[in-house]
Structures are given as C-alpha cells and as structure tokens.
Structure 1
Amino acid sequence: MIGQSLHDLWFGFGVAFQGSNLMWSFFGVLVGNLIGVLPGMGALQAISILLPLTYVMHPVPAILMLAGIFYGSQYGGAIGAILMNMPSHPPHAVTCLDGYPMTKQGKGGVALGVTMIASFLAASVGIIVMIFASPLLVQIAFKFGPTEIFSIMLLGLLAGSTMSRGSPLKGVAMTLFGLLCGVVGTDVNSGSFRFAFGLPELSDGLELVAISMGLFGVADFLLNVNRMKTIGDTGTLKLSDMRPSKEELKRAFPAMIRGTIVGTVFGAMPGTGPTITTFIAYALERKVSKTPNKFGTGMIEGVAGPEASAHSKTQVDFIPTMSLGIPGDAVMALILGALLIQGIQPGPQLITEHPDIFWGLIASFWIGNVILVILNVPLIGVWVKLLKVPYKYLFPAAMFFIATGVYSTQNSLFQIWEVLVFGIVGAVLMTLEFSVAPILLGFVLGPMVEENFRRALLLSRGDMSVFVTRPISATFIGLCALLLLGVSYSAWRGRGGRKGVVELPKTPEGAPPAETVSISGK
C-alpha cells in the first residue's frame, strides 16, 4: 500500500511540474501571499474574485491555482498579524497576541522566521497525513456527529476563555460577549431576527472580518494614534535576523509539534473551521508552559503553536473536501464549487476517476510551500520596512486598506461601521485590561455550538443524557469538567495564599527592601 502511494505521489509530481500547472500554482501562491498581507483581505476574497477565471481553465491548473491562493494567504495573514497587529485572516488573530509584542521588542524578523519554519514543517506533516492516513481520518470523521462536535466545541470555548492574561473571570466575560455577538442575525430554525435592532443589514449576522479587524487592527491604532514614532526599531533586516537562536528554537519546536497535531486532528473534522484550531493550539501552549502568565508579552511558543496548527489544518482540510465532498469552511466550499463547475464530483471515487487532480494537488502542496519559502526570504525585508513608516502616515494608509478590504467582502458600507464600532469597543476593553481574543473565539464557536446542540437534542428526542452516554462526547465533557475544576482550584489557591498577608508599600530605590508581614487570623 505504501509503495502504491509513493508511486501515485511520483505521478502527482509529474503532473504538478508540467509547465502550465507549475505556472498557475506559482501565480496562486504569489497572489495569496500578497492578498494575505493586505488588511481586510484574505483567501476568501481572493478566490471569490478569481473563481470566474477557472470557468475557461483546465480543471488541474484551476484547482492548483485556488489551492495556492489558500495556503499562500495563510502565511501572508501571519505577516500582517505579526508586524501590524492586523489579522487579515481571522485564525491569525491569536498570532497577534505574542507576534506583535515580539515586533515591538525588535524581534519581528525572528517571529516571521519561526512562522516560516512552522508553516513548512506543519504543511509537510499535513501532506504526509493526506497521502497515507486519509482513509483512517475519514473513518474518524464519520464518528463525529452533532453530539461529539458540540462537546468538542464546548471544550474549545472553555479552553479559550481561560487563555487570556489576567483574571479568568474577565476571559469568561469576553467569551460570553462573543457568544452574544454570534447569535445576532436570523435564527436558522425559526427564521426570526435575533438582536438585529430592526437593522436589515444585520439579518445575516455580524461580519467576522469586520470584528477581527476592529478588535485588533483599529483598536490598536486608536490606542496609539498619538504616537509619532515607528512601531519597532528594526534597522536593516538581514537574513540572519530571521534565524531564531538555539534557545528560541528549543522552545518553539515542541510548540510546532503540538500545533501540528492539533491542526491535523481538527482538519479531518468537517465543519470545524480554522479559527478554533489556532485558539485551541494557543490555549494548549499556555497550559503546558511553566510561565503561562508571560503569554501575551512576546512568547515565541504563542506564535509557533498556532501557526503550525493553521498550516497543518490548511492541508488536511482537503481530506473531507475531496474525499467526502464536505467543506470544512467557506474557502473549502468555494474550492468545492470550483470542482463542481468543472463537472467533477468530489467523493470517494475522485482518487480513481481523477488521479491527476488528486495527486497533482498533493504534489503541488509541497512545490507551493517551497515556492512560498523562496518568495518570502527576499520579501521579508519589504514587509519589515513597513515598520519604519511613521504612525502619522501608517495610520491613514492602514485605515484605507482596512475599509477597502472589509467593503469588498459584501460591498456594504455598513461593514465599515461595524469595524469602527468594534474598534472603539476593543480600545475601551484593552484600556480596562480585558483581553479581546476570547470575543472572537466566542463569536466563531457560538453559532456552531448552538446549531450542534439543537441537532443533538433533536436526534435524541430531547434526551440530555446523550452527551454523556456517547463515549467520545463523554470524554470531552469530562475534560470540560476537569478544566473547570482546575481553574476553580487555581483561583481558590491564589486567594488562600494571599489571605492574611499584608505587603508594605514599596520603598524608594536604594532603600532597604520592604518586608512582608504575616497577620494571624485573630
């Protein structure tokens, strides 16, 4: 079986290295990388614009081009998140938490270098999984019904709520706020408007791109609008500046492995989307770290883990799309539509009926990721030069690109007002020391949790015990309970440790250190 797979892969490389196929793959990676950097733009917008081009193309180069745009924009989105705190692709919002602080510390090149290594490593693992483990992952995916998906989404919500710095209660509050934002719009079951305040523009709900750009990009600009200096003191960026030190690699490599595993597992599950993957990978890094309180201040693990999970999921996402005809997110749905336009029916028979498309696509992933590395080595210097632009020029330019990108999603000026409102809300919350990342997690997962909860109860005729009688669901519910107990115990122990202790005021520099006085319970 392995020998046959290697033979088919060799055939795929022959297809991918054909002149026209290689050209369109390069074009897709280049366009995806450039589009991914622009605020408000992403793979969804780029593929939507270029989809009509595929009508007159041969199926193989058409799919290779669209796939190149997809994973090319993944790395481009990371560039914007790390250097500008503007995640053009919502999954990269988590990368902002530690990537942007690294940039402000003058380590933007290191963060981008780690992202490049993580993306290539995770993508390679994802491709290997596609080649050898597709049938197994398809069988696993079939075992996840609405009950199991609800349980794993609930675990993701709880894990994400506790990942923010500071008070866990603030993280839970922000997640609940995101959940409320997620229910705005039309109820899929009753068809009635919910929390739309009579605005027909909210009938389809709030826009994910608008929320992510507002909470991260615009909010940061509003907080720093009076700053006239540049973002970071980068100097002249050389290739050596992108190379992490041995200590940084030692910390980042295990995070890459864990992130790759998370992305691979979630990539096989249709309908989960890429955003939850990066959030869970980030929460996992905080849980296993010996210094979780330092996350959000420039921890390299907070960049390596989520980026690896995003890129491995990007590759594995093609398994349910090609093998089952079930797209994992909106981008996969567009690629699925491109296949159907070409008269190709995705499903179990795709491998035997169209081996040139399936194996050519897999081979193009490796070729495209090599192209991505080659492209970005010289381009990194161009991206980092953005940091030398003074804020008085960078601010209006970034606002223009944000407005243009968000407007292009639905050609609606209302989306721009959404960005402004969430930018102001984000700036206020950051001033009050609330983390805004859980808002995005709650917004993304809220509708999916509600939908799968309703489906599970409908199938079980209202029997709530279905969530603890099905083994996979019961496992995730048990993990949720353990997570809640762990957070509660940590909070209780923290209060207990401080009870009865009074710290004297800090003394001036050079004076003897202040003592800590313990007071008895009397």
Structure 2
Amino acid sequence: MMESLQGILHGLSIAATPTHLLYTLIGVFIGTMISHLPGIGPSAGIALLIPVTFGMDPTSALMMLTGIYYGCMYGGAVTAILLNTPGDAAAVMTVLDGYPLARKGRAAATLAIAATSSFIAGMIGVTLLSFVAAPLAAVALHFGPTEYFALICFALSTASALTGESLAKGMISVFLGLGLATVGIDLQSGVPRFTLGFTELQDRVNFLVVVVGLFAISEVGRMVEGTLGGTLHTVRVEGKLWFSREEWRRARPAALRGTFVGFLCGAAPGLGGTLASMLSYVLEKKISRHPEEFGHGAIEGVAAPEAATNADTCGAFVHLLALGVPGSGSTAVIMGAFIMYGIQPGPLLFHTQPDLVWGLIASMYIGNIMLLLLNLPLVGILSRILYVPPGVLLSLILVIASAGVYSFNSDTFDLYMALGFGVLGYGFRKFDIPKAPLLFGLILGHTLEQSFRQALTISNGDPTVFVRSPISAGLLVCACISIGASIWSRRQPPKAFQETQEQLTEHQLAEDRR
C-alpha cells in the first residue's frame, strides 16, 4: 500500500513537468478529435500516430499514446449520441439511450453526463490500477515459460469466447491472428515461414499495417454505405450544456456501478470495453425501477456504459504493465509501441523503469482532468467536425491512414498489405466476425509459440511440464472453463442478454425505417 502511494507521488512529480504535461494534453486532445471521426477508434488512432513519436523520449511518447487511448474512449459517445453511430464498438450500448435523449432535445445534457461519468470512472480506475498493478507484478516475477504459455492460452480463450455473438467466429478470428504471427523468420531454425516469397514478410507481419487496414480502412467502406444509404442522421447540440439535478441523481450510482464492472472486465484479459458496456447496461436495466425506459431515453443507459468503457481502459493496463499481456486491442497496439522503444512490459518493468511506469500512471490522473475540461466546454465546437462533407472526411481518413502506414518503412508493399487487411476487415464486418481476437492472436502468437517451445526444450519434450506448476495448471483449467462456459452460454443465453440483443435489433430496424 505504502509502496504504491509513494509510486503515485513520485509519478506525479514526473508527469507534472511542463514537457510531459504538454504531451499528455496533445494526446488527450488528439484522442478526443479522433473519437469524433466515426469508425476510426482508439486502436487505429494510436497506430496512425505511432510513426510521429519516432525519436521522442519514450516516457513522453507513451504518455501521449496513452492519452490518445483514453481520450478516444471519452469522446466515443459523441457520434453515438449525435449520429446514432457508435464511434467504436465499446460505444454501441450508448446508442440505445443516448440518441433517443438527443432527439428529445437533451443532446447537450447527455453529452455532459457521458463526460462526467467517464471522468469519475477514470479517476477511480487509475486509483485501482495504482494499487493493483504493483502487487500483481510481484506475483508475476515467479512466471516462467510454462506460466506465460498458460496465461496467454487463458487470454486467448476469453478473447475468442466472449468477443462477438458466435464462439466459432471468435475462434476463426483468433486462429487467423495466430497464423499471421507465424509468418517470418523462425527464430530457432532461421528458416523463412509462410512468406510466399516476399522478402518484406521475413521480418514478420507489421502490426501497424494490420491495425490501420483492419480498423481504419475497413471502416471507410462502412461510412460510404451509410452516406449513400442516407442512414447517418445528425442531431445538433442545442440548449444548456449541463444536466438537471434529477438526471444526476439517477446517473451517479449507475456511473459508480459501471466503473467497477468496467475495471473488472478490463483486468480480465480479453473481455474488453464492448462486453463491459453491455454488462453494465444489463445490470442497470435489471435493477432499475423503470426498466421500460431503457431504449427510449434512460439517463442510466448512458452513464453506466460510458463509465464502464473508461474504467475498462484502466483495467486493461493492469495486464499490460504487470504481466506484459495486452488487456484490449488498443493496449495491444500500445504494447507494440513499448517494444518498438526497446521496453518489454511485464513484472520487471516496475523495477527496471519505475520513472516510466509511475509517470505513465500519474499522467492518467492529469489526463482525466484535462479531458473533463476539454469535453464539457468544447463539445459544441468539436461536434462540428461531424458536419464535414462525407467526401472530404473519407479522403482525410484515407490520407492519414496511408501516410501512417507508408512512413513506418517507406515501402509501398505496406500500402498494399493495409488495403488487403482493409478488405478483410470489411468482410469481417459483413459476416459479423470480431476483429479484436485477430489482433490478440497476432500480438500474442509469437510469445505463445516461443513460451511453448522453451518449456518443451527445458523439459526435454515432456508435455506434462505444463501441469506441474500450480499457476500454469490453474490457468489452463481457467481457459478450459472459459471456453466451456462460452459454449454453454451460447446454448442457453441469459434472458437479460437476449432482451438487450432484441432491443438493439429493434432499435436498428426503427432507425432504418426512418
């Protein structure tokens, strides 16, 4: 407890320097701006800005990239409330009540509730991160190849089982990512694998190319469809920006409950903000005295998912910093940035890079305050970016995506690869296949393979090495339980989730008819 408190105070002295304050402000501002562009999302936004950080101090660069992450999560509700289009997957639950509230003339108050709920969740979430990450890192020092293999198996099982509506589709995405992770030079034999004769693939598939193509370029196709189909309905911000006392009375407990649900989902590898927002929404609907209001403008239906989404970002950093395992698709991209700077996230990070870790955590406190000050007074101005002509907006996204990909290696081959992954991402959307598990498989596949081979090498090929360690055996059992529970839940889905899915379908049909 005292060690964590001292770490926070030390981190605040680092994060409060003028240089770090500036980069934190730049990160949260860019994240807020990106969140106002429908379909970009935090993963693609971070990936686009990684090339800009080349040559920067690692602490400043990571503070900026992290600020982009939670800045995107703060502002993701804007397009959901104003455009009836979630800025990212995690904001899908905000659409249900945010857009109806906006159509009732409460757009400004709804945006204020979303920002305030996110602020509360962010401050509580960072506090929990500060006191949980260091003890977990001390435990993780006992991890070896077998424990890491089991941990990654558990992370992948939760990602495939709980992301999306279909376990089979989630598994397809995971195994495709694992397959992409095997492309390149085999570290043990030195033989190229699955490169198809392209020398550019010998250094593994570039994660930046995959992220930009899968998330940014593929979303351009969705936006083109929405624009041509006339399904994007803009609601202008009018009236007072603040909310009433009654609205706050109802939203406050929902935000607190959503905070803890979101942090727990973020701390469990692979669950993510989408599931966190859905669980918090279902919880509020079940305990509400007026469940019939949900889907028609219940303020709790905005406060709880938004708090859960922002708290999920803090929970996801527990695994990234303490275990070296990304807890979400966005932290997987940030983990790539860590590695690019020659920094290996994991239990030793708190001992080898204490200034970076505690400075990064402390910058989240400061960034949350900056975001509240940015989002409340500027929301009316920032939302005007939604009124940019669709052709200009789409061109801008493509230019930024292409520039980010090309600047990484200055190779046109990466542009073709990004386009190919963009087509793949568009196909994933059409067939309702989740994208995040693919990114999980790509990022974790290399470590999974190396841990597996190292463990077998140490044990002279004895496969029982994976069950000799209590930690390894326990994690493998948890992975099996996760997959089994997911299969069972697909056979008998909870009634609350059925009602939520039906509500989402009815809402979309109603908007299509309009």
Give the structure-1-normalised TM-score.
0.68
1:235 aligns with 2:236: yes
Q: Matched residue of 1:236: which SS?
A: coil
Give the counterpart of 1:310 among 308, 313, 323.
313
User: Which of the numbers 334, 337, 342 marks the counterpart of 1:331?
Assistant: 337
Shift of 1:472: 1.6
In percent, how many aligned pairs have the same letter?
24
Per the TM alignment, residue 313 of structure 1 is displaced from its structure 2 partner at its CA by 4.4
Q: How does 1:423-462 map to 2 (within 5 A)?
A: 423-462=422-461
Q: RMSD value over aligned CA atoms?
A: 4.6
Cα distance in 2 between the residues matched to 1:452 and 1:47 = 28
Cα distance in structure 2, aligned partners of 1:443 and 1:93: 21
Displacement of 1:133: 6.0
1: CA distance between counterparts of 2:180 and 2:203? 12
Residue 29 of structure 1 and its aligned partner are, at CA, apart by: 1.4
Alignment of 1:143-158 (within 5 A): 143-158=142-157
How do residues 281-360 of structure 1 correspond to structure 2 at under 5 angstroms? 282-283=274-275, 304-314=307-317, 329-333=335-339, 348=351
Of 256, 259, 263, the match for 1:256: 259
Q: Which whole-Å CA distance do the structure 2 matches of 1:105 and 1:426 have between them? A: 30
Q: Give yes or no for contact 1:150–1:452 (8 Å, CA) kept in 2.
A: yes
Residues 163 and 282 of structure 1 are in contact (CA less than 8 Å); yes or no, is this contact kept in structure 2? no
Q: What is the identity, as a one-letter code, of the residue corresponding to 2:372?
A: V
Matched residue type, 1:308? A
Normalised by the size of structure 2, how large is the TM-score?
0.69
SS in 2 for 1:162: helix
Higher helix share: 2
Match of 1:506 in 2: none
- Distance verdict in 2 for CA 1:436–1:13, change over 3 Å: closer
Q: Which residue of 1 aligns with 2:488?
A: 489
- Establish whether residue 173 from structure 1 lines up as the match of residue 172 from structure 2: yes
What is the aligned partner in structure 1 of residue 288 from structure 2?
none
Give deviations 1:247-278, integer Å, cap 9, x for gaps: 66655543421332455x57xxxxxxxxx55x
Equivalent AA in structure 1 for residue 338 of structure 2: M
2:162 match: secondary structure = coil
Matches within 5 A, 1:88-487: 95=90, 114=114, 117-118=117-118, 121-122=121-122, 124-127=124-127, 130=130, 136-226=135-225, 227-228=227-228, 229=230, 231-236=232-237, 239-240=241-242, 250-251=253-254, 253-261=256-264, 263=266, 279-280=271-272, 282-283=274-275, 304-314=307-317, 329-333=335-339, 348=351, 364-487=363-486
Contact 2:214 2:424 in 1 (8 A): yes
Query: Following TM superposition, by how much is the alpha carbon of 1:142 offset from its aligned partner in structure 2, in angstroms?
Result: 0.5
Give the corresponding residue for 2:511: none
1:194–1:362 CA distance, 2 compared to 1 (3 A): closer
Looking at structure 2, the residues matched to 10 and 406 of structure 1 have their Cα atoms a distance apart, in angstroms, of 38
Report deviation, 1:211. 2.4
Partner of 2:69: 74
Mean CA deviation greater in 162-171 or 116-125: 116-125
> Which structure 1 segments of 5+ residues have no match?
55-61, 86-91, 267-275, 292-296, 322-327, 338-344, 495-522
Q: Which amino acid counterpart does residue 70 of structure 1 have in structure 2?
A: L
User: For structure 1, which segment, 476-485 or 224-233, has the greater mean C-alpha deviation from structure 2 after superposition?
Assistant: 224-233
1:140 Cα offset (Å):
1.0
| Most deviating of 35-44 and 179-188 | 35-44
Task: Report the CA distance between 1:454 and its aligned residue.
Answer: 1.9
Pair 129,212 (structure 1): closer, same or farther in 2 beyond 3 Å: closer
Structure with bigger gyration radius = 1
Match of 1:28 among 23, 27, 31: 23
Q: Which digits, 9 at most, give the CA deviation of each residue in 1:81-131, with x for residues without a partner? A: 66679xxxxxx975366568888878798589647744663455435653x
